[in-house]
Amino acid sequence: MKLVQRINNNTNNNASSLASPFGDSDSWSPNQLPRQSSPSNSRQAVHPNNNHILAEEKKYDDQSGKLSLVIPQMISRTETKGNPKHGGAGRTKHKIGFIMCMCCALLSLVTLKRGSSQMSADNKQMLIRSPTVNDKQCLNLDVDGNMDAMIASATQIFITMPAKAAGTSLLEFTEKCTKQHFPNYQFVNNPDEAEKFLSNTLHLPSIITSHLDAGDQPLVDIAQHSTRKTLIVHTHRDETERLQSGIRHVLTEWVCNRKRYKVGKTRQFHIDRNETHCILDESPAIDMIKERVIEIGIGSPEILTCKAYKAIEENEPNMIFLHYKQANKLQRLLAKHHCPELLDEPPTETNVASDKPMSVYLRLRKQGGDIVKLDDWLHAKGDLLEWSLKLRKNATCQAKTRHMEDELFACPDQAIKVTSEGVGKW
């Protein structure tokens, strides 16, 4: 009763706290790139006698990419006075001016016609080089789209991911789809286990799914030794968002639910809990985050390193980066070619935040031992955790990861085909 009363009192005191924006249920809306305005230019040439203006415009046609020339028009600034004495001279000047302007117009027409083919090619090249989604190798996840074609042509598929990036859901789907169960499903992280896997059975699974919990080397090995018929799908999640999801998972499952075989002794947390609420001390929680244990530490800084990008660039495997929120669409495409009997079933979703009824609170080290909800604590400190605890001290080539994310998140289906040229530009 005292525990519930303390939680209720704390909840009332913190009613104005903001909820964390980093839940597993959050969705990502890709930024749409601004459309480039069509180039246009105009030019006016003044006649030498200052009596006429040759107005000439060039307009760019967005649809055809061709240049069109508006017929030059003579615009008179002055009118010839009706003096019979000077009428003949005035008409002669008008005729000379008209002939000269027509010559200029013909000369411009010939010049434009001669350069039109080159201008069109330049305009097309400009469009190709512009930062559009087509330039980023975006993939369509619809049935019969270009990613569907890549899956159809592959005889062996590796699905890899960091922690908290739809890995458990994809692992369970893979077992249902291939109808094979492997006690050590993360054998790709261990060369000895990978060798044993080869002789495990005659018909090996066409889909292998695994978290990459041994750093960058497993991804390097897959990229270096893949064949033309191998496809690598790596699901990705923003690291700060992934880290906070991992913190929630570890403190809820491995500490509050007392799965000590994962984290060892939990006495230092001074746990107060019932069936729905759990209170932990702040200091040991921070220590656990700093040590990057289990799901907290299996992230992109350890996997997507300079070494990994170099292996991808030098070997250019058939590889896809996929946002983890697209895991359900990936399952549908895999089922189409490897287990069509699963097409009528809902996608496999496991270990999502909405399935966890336990609410975790932290007892602050200062401020009189106030109790705050873990989500509020992460919202207040989330952007400083990585800097304060130096959680990315072993990260390399983060610029490449950020450029990759810019392209990935901008694609409509948040999936990109990886190329050697693209990695080099990142």
* More confident position, 223 or 114: 223
pLDDT tens-digit readout, 114-165: 444 444 333 433 333 334 444 458 999 999 999 999 999 999 999 999 999 9
Asked if pLDDT for residue 335 goes beyond 70, the answer is: yes
pLDDT tens-digit readout, 391-415: 999 999 999 999 999 999 999 999 9
Q: What is the CA radius of gyration of the chain?
A: 33
Burial readout 16-42 (b: 16 or more C-beta within 10 A, e: otherwise): eeeebebbbeeeeeeeeeeeeeeeeee
Look-up of token digits 């070997």: 315
- In whole angstroms, what is the distance from residue 108 CA to residue 217 CA? 63
Residues 400, 331, 422: CA angle, nearest 5 degrees: 20
Please count the other Cβ atoms lying within 10 Å of the Cβ belonging to residue 421: 11
- In whole angstroms, what is the distance from residue 116 CA to residue 6 CA? 79
- The residues facing 361 across adjacent strands are 279, 373
- In whole angstroms, what is the distance from residue 206 CA to residue 408 CA? 26
- In whole angstroms, what is the distance from residue 134 CA to residue 410 CA? 11
- pLDDT-derived band at 340, boundaries 50, 70, 90: very high
* More confident position, 375 or 102: 375
Share of the chain above pLDDT 70, in %: 65
- pLDDT-derived band at 294, boundaries 50, 70, 90: confident
Q: How many CA atoms lie within 13 A of 422 on its CB side?
A: 25
Q: How many CA atoms lie within 13 A of 103 on its CB side?
A: 7
Q: Kindly report the average pLDDT of the chain as a whole number.
A: 77
Contact 371, 278 (CB under 8 A): no
Residue 28 backbone class (left: φ over 0; alpha: ψ -120 to 50; beta: rest):
beta
- In whole angstroms, what is the distance from residue 7 CA to residue 12 CA? 9
